[in-house]
Structure formats: structure tokens, C-alpha cells
Structure 1
């Protein structure tokens, strides 16, 4: 059949465009359904808010696209640090920030534990490699503040290394800011009861059990040690050039909207005027003959 022939029963271009938009919305709903499988929030109390959640999230994500265009056009460099206890919702916020953005402009840095070689380097060295170039946004899903948190609580660093970190980190961040990198730091705060509930939900959910590591379980036992470490971290590394912002995160949906809205308020972006996009005419070659594809190469259509 000639490619230019259209089945009269086929959906119109308008209908197909509508389906494309709905598909984008479904992507967010899929994430929400995943969160809600063994959800930790009282849906009865949040029913009214939930009705507006998707609409507001899509609006904020539209603003993030505008921010992305501005960052690319101006060469701005933005670092967003996301810290917090295990199960505090950092990953959920990061997913919603990056969901509609170009991964070549906005990327996530989630570094594993340092290897033997990295342990002998200058502490900040492996993080420096992930800092943004002009026109880039980098979100750190945990950052150099590992030393102030998990490394301190789990005794993965010495007292001398811990003290040196707090001597160095203010100057390190001031140096980055002087070089033109904007740093926005978030601590996602959840209550004792909420973390326990989220951990128990993960234990019962086979699709999320992989999120629970022995380290996570040990962090639950050492709740008070983590609290003390957090308090010291916020006190000793809250500088004017890169202050800490605390996100109340017991309610996941509200935390996402509040964090994204606040992030947008921290960057002096504006809409960038772009040339009108015109779809070029398709070129047809009279000599071109489409070759048949063997049926055995197609994925079976089970759905």
C-alpha cells in the first residue's frame, strides 16, 4: 500500500494530537499509581487536594521547560542538591523535575559509594566531575553532604575527615558560586512515624523491596544519630551564598509542588523568544520503493 493513502477510518490529526497529550499525562498518572499501590498518605483527607494536584504539577512542569530554555540560552549553570533521610521522597521530586526536560540539559548525579581509588582522592574530587557546564542543570540525588550524614553516622570517616569537611565545604561552595554556578540546597524532612510507615510499605511491596538496603534498615535504628548529624550539618554549612531550604515532606504530593515552585522562584528566568517552528514539506522520490519487512521481525502484538 502506498504510504500516502489514508484509511478513512483512521483517527484525525486532531484526535492523534489529543492522544499524544493524554499519553504525556498518563505518564505522570503511572508514577502516581506506583506511589499509591501501598500508599502511606490518608487519601480520604487528601481527596480535594488530589483533584488539583495533576493540574498544578503540569503547570509547574511547563514553567520548568521555560526555565530550561532560559538556562540553555543564557549559559546559566545550576546545581540542585537534594538531601534527606531514606524514604524522604527525594527521588520522587527529582523524577517530577526531570520528567519533561531534555536530559542533555538537565541531568541527575546519583553517585555510588566511592571505590578504593576515590577514597584516596580529595574528598570533593569525584563530585566536581559532575558539575554543570554552561547551559546545564544538575540535580544531585545525595551529594558531598554524604560525609556530614551517612559517613558520620556509620563511622565511614574519621573525626579529622569530618571536621575538615566542615572547614572546607563553605569555601568549596563559595568558590563554585564565584565561578558562576548557582547552588540550591534542599533538605527533605519527614517525621519518625512517616519514615517507618514508608519503610513498612516497601517491605510489603515486591516492586519496591529493592529500595531497602541493609544501610537503610540500619539508618532506621540510628534515627537519633541521623537527627543530630542533620542538625550539625544545617548549622555549619548554611551560608549566605548557598543556604539550606527545608521541605516538609510527610505529604509527598505537597512536597513535590512546594519544592518545584520554590526552585522556580530561586532562578531569575524568563521566557525566551524563539523562532517559529515550521514543519518542512516531506520529500517524495518517484523512484523510491519501500521494501517489505518479514513478519518474523515484528514484536508480537499481545496488547
Structure 2
């Protein structure tokens, strides 16, 4: 009987969906340790890893002939897995696209609204007991309706964010993407990321993580943004150069930022936590029960196909 490792606790609907195999559910919420990563490749036929489980080239090098033949990632992003090293070792990789799209787009909109209307700052004011009551110039923010949003990465998630912005708030859409997209709403593709940053009131980062996009949003892009503009990141933390963002925020060169991910997650610099013009969420992108169940069942479908000798539904 095939042995399967599920790297984190999941809902019962997910863990009970696998059949015909010996399932081990690891009960810790922290990422797999260095020893656990190697043992996973060595001792199991397939593994369901997730964010932070760093199956790097070094890990594969230490287990040159792994028993494991599938990493069925729980999540759409898989930059924590060296896919080339996995393939070279004979290990397939799958992910869970589609299941996360709407929920992640909703978090982008949450961050946009919270930043624009200074909701985090206002909530802290009320909780502190220092609020003295309404007055006409209290905590004036940015009105999103009719503004221009720039989407960096017009994939599944970027398109749903853009739809919500256009149809929900009447916002004009510009985007930066490797290729032009046939979209169900009016949008202008901009060739230069710096040019896009300079045109928009809100810049939303929705690209995949990985070496190609690391520090895509750095000092140059931040310097191009308008002084009132907001940066929203729901992609991967290291897509934004955190030190450059802190510098821009502290100097008032941009209006604010909304972050659901961090470069050195879960570590969040004190400098970011000290700023009032930043909204900080604890990676809530897909944190809805239905969504996490759908993600898990999609990962299970990949595992079950592997067990049954069928083509993998979501191979990467």
C-alpha cells in the first residue's frame, strides 16, 4: 500500500477523501524541517506539501533516488519547490489552480479598501480610546471609485481583481504582463513596469513567485509611483523588496501599502509594524473554509490520480 504524507493538519473532508493508501497527517503547523523534508522524499510514495516546505535542489541532492514520486502541493504557488530539481529526480509536481482565485482577489480588494480609507488606522484609534468623535476633516483617505488601478500580472487572479475593480468601482484598468490578454473588460497594457507605476492610483501585485519575479517591485518602481498611490501585494512576499518599500513609506514617497505576504514570512520587520500607513494581514489570501476544502480536494485529486495510475490533473 502506498504511503502518503500530508505535511500540515487539514479539514476532515480533505484527509478522509483519500482511499486505498496509508495516510500520515503531520500535526504541526510549522513548515517541514530540513530532516523532515529529506525523510519525506525518502520514506513516502507521495507528499502533500504547502507554503514554506522548501523542497530545494539541496534537499533533492541529499536524496538522489527518492521513493517519493509526487509532490501534490496544497496551493497554487509552488516557488518553495525546485521543480527542475524535482523533475531531474523523477518527482512530479502538481498544484491547485482555480480554487484560490476568487478568495485571493477578495483579499486584494480588502487591502485596497482598508488602505484607501485608512481602516486599520481608524480601528486602532477606536480601540485605543483616543477617538474624540466625528468631524469633517477626520482621517481623510482616498476615494477608490473612478480611480486607475495597475495590475502587475494579468493571470487568473489578476483578471478577477481587475473585474472587481472595473465593474464594482468603475476603475480604469492598466496592466503589465508578458503578453497581451483578451479580456472581458476594457484594459490598457503598458509595456514598462515603471510607466505603469507612474500612471496608477493603486498598484496591485499578482504575479507568481520565483526567481524571475524576486524583487520585481524594488526602489525604481516605487520611485515611479505617485505620492498618493498605494501598493497592494497578494502575490509572494519576495516579489516586493521589503527594505525599499519601508524606505519609500517612511519617506512619504508613496501613500501607503497593503500586504498579505512578506519577504521573510512569518517575520515582519518592526519598521513595517510601526507605520500607520500600512495594512498588514497574516497571509489570509485563501483563508475561507470552503476555499481551503476545495484546495485540499484538488490536491487529493492529484494524489488519487497518482495512486490510480492516471494522468495528473494539475501537473506543473
Q: Larger relative contact order (C-alpha < 8 A, sep ≥ 6)?
A: 1
Name the TM-score, length of structure 1 as normaliser: 0.27
Q: Which structure dedicates a bigger proportion of its chain to helix?
A: 1
Name the TM-score, length of structure 2 as normaliser: 0.26
Larger radius of gyration: 1
